[in-house]
């Protein structure tokens, strides 16, 4: 049996329909702008998010970086959450590459940043002592904050705040379709309130690689130049864009299955002695839990035993905290097998 890989939805592999589409994709040179499959994918992404244009890039990290470079000049300041993916997990690229000054603010447990904190962080315009506040970066769903889905009302209020100060909003929407499914709204209910939005094809949507940046045509033109600077210009990229088209056509609505499986996994874990979790906190496909001190097992030993003895892979969040993630290849049957594996290992913990 293939391993039950719960480390992330990034471990999902392409569906048979994606492999078929990739094998027969029409291609051209995308750096020259003449790959028909990439063009179709970009048009679909722009339409899905109600933006003028879109840009296909290799990764979510590059999507956020080219967005920052499109919004900010060297020495500008970017407001973002202290638990945001861009701040914590993207290798400091906005500073290393863009000379952009990050101004971090506290993320609340629901993934939001308080409006009063944002207001206070915006620099006075025209004062030479301060960097220029150019943009606010927000995230939905919010990874570290438990996969929280942030409602459209938050982004609507944020838009009003940003407009008062003439600053842009970028949404790191790596899992934006998960957010919309969880909230029972359309993606555009959220994206209409931001200038640019990025989303990943290679997480819950199951494509092998790639992300999209969507926004006004002038900003996407600038992002395209930044993609070239970063070495992200791909040639016959239609081969991988074809899988992205299948992802948008076939994989969005079924994300609700991943959410149901995540809740069932959380409920099962909650019934095992030593696991600390509130199933009600699970909103999407990310499940975070802790291991109580009463269980005499080293966290890394738990990970190793689950893998070696039961072929179940999980991710560590440091200390006695863990994350498991459901995706297309984690069926209800595999959820039950994973719960049984946890129960067996913890019953003989040492």
SS (H, E, C) 182-214: HHCCCHHHHHCCCCEEEEECCCCCCCCCCEEEE
Q: What is the pLDDT of residue 350?
A: 63
pLDDT given at position 295: 83
Helix (H, G, I), strand (E, B) or coil at 15: coil
pLDDT at residue 330, as a whole number = 98
For residues 242-258, average pLDDT: 98
Tell whether the model's pLDDT for residue 339 goes beyond 90.
yes
Please give the structure tokens belonging to residue 178: 């998960």
Question: Cα–Cα distance between 268 and 240 in angstroms, integer?
Answer: 37
The tens digit of pLDDT for each residue in 106-134 reads: 999 999 999 999 999 999 988 999 999 99
Is it the case that residue 1 has pLDDT exceeding 60?
no
CA–CA distance, 182 with 140 (Å, rounded to integer):
11
Domains 15-250 and 254-347 belong to one CATH topology: no
Rounded CA separation 241/21 (Å): 9
CATH of 15-250, one of 3.40.640.10, 1.10.10.60, 3.50.50.60, 3.40.50.261: 3.40.640.10
Which of 1-10, 65-74, 330-339 is the least confident region? 1-10
Q: Note the pLDDT tens digit of each residue in 279-310.
A: 999 999 999 999 998 888 889 999 999 999 99
Q: What average pLDDT does range 219-233 have in this prediction?
A: 97
At the top level of CATH, which class does the domain 254-347 belong to? Answer: alpha beta
Residue 42 CA to residue 172 CA, distance in Å, equals 17
Domain spans, the chain: 15-250, 254-347
**Residue 8, SS3?**
coil
DSSP H helical ranges for the chain = 16-23, 36-49, 60-71, 85-89, 93-96, 115-121, 152-165, 176-183, 187-191, 217-229, 238-250, 255-270, 299-310, 332-347
Helix (H, G, I), strand (E, B) or coil at 10: helix
pLDDT value, residue 293: 86
Contacts of 112 (CB under 8 A, 6+ apart): 150, 154
What average pLDDT does this structure show over 150-165? 98
């Amino acid at each position: 049996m293939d391993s039950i890989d719960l480390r992330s939805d990034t471990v999902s592999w392409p569906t048979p329909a994606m492999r078929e589409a990739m094998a027969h994709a029409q291609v051209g040179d995308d750096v020259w702008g003449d790959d028909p499959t990439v063009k179709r994918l970009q048009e679909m992404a722009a339409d899905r998010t109600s933006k003028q244009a879109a840009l296909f890039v290799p990764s979510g990290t590059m999507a956020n970086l080219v967005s920052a470079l499109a919004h900010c000049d060297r020495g500008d300041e970017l407001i973002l959450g202290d638990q945001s993916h861009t701040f914590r997990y993207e290798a400091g690229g906005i500073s290393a590459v863009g000379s952009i000054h990050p101004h971090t603010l506290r993320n609340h447990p629901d993934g939001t940043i308080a409006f009063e904190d944002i207001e206070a962080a915006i620099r006075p315009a025209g004062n030479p002592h301060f960097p220029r506040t150019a943009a606010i970066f927000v995230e939905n769903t919010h990874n570290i904050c438990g996969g929280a889905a942030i409602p459209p009302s938050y982004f609507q209020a944020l838009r009003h705040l940003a407009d008062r100060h003439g600053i842009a909003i970028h949404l790191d929407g790596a899992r934006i379709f998960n957010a919309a499914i969880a909230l029972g709204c359309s993606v555009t209910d959220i994206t209409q309130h931001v200038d640019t939005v990025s989303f990943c094809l290679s997480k819950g949507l199951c494509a092998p690689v790639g992300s999209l940046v969507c926004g006004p045509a002038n900003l996407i033109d600038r992002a395209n130049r930044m993609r070239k600077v970063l070495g992200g210009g791909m040639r016959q990229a239609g081969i991988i864009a074809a899988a992205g088209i299948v992802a948008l056509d076939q994989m969005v609505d079924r994300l609700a299955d991943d959410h149901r499986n995540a809740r069932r996994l959380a409920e099962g874990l909650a019934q095992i002695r030593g696991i600390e979790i509130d199933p009600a906190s699970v909103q999407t496909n990310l499940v975070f839990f802790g291991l109580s001190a009463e269980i005499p097992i080293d966290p890394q030993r738990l990970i190793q035993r689950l893998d070696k003895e039961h072929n179940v892979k999980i991710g560590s969040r440091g200390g006695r905290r863990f994350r498991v993630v459901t995706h297309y290849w984690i069926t209800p049957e595999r959820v039950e097998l994973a719960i049984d594996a946890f129960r067996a290992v913890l019953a003989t913990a040492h």
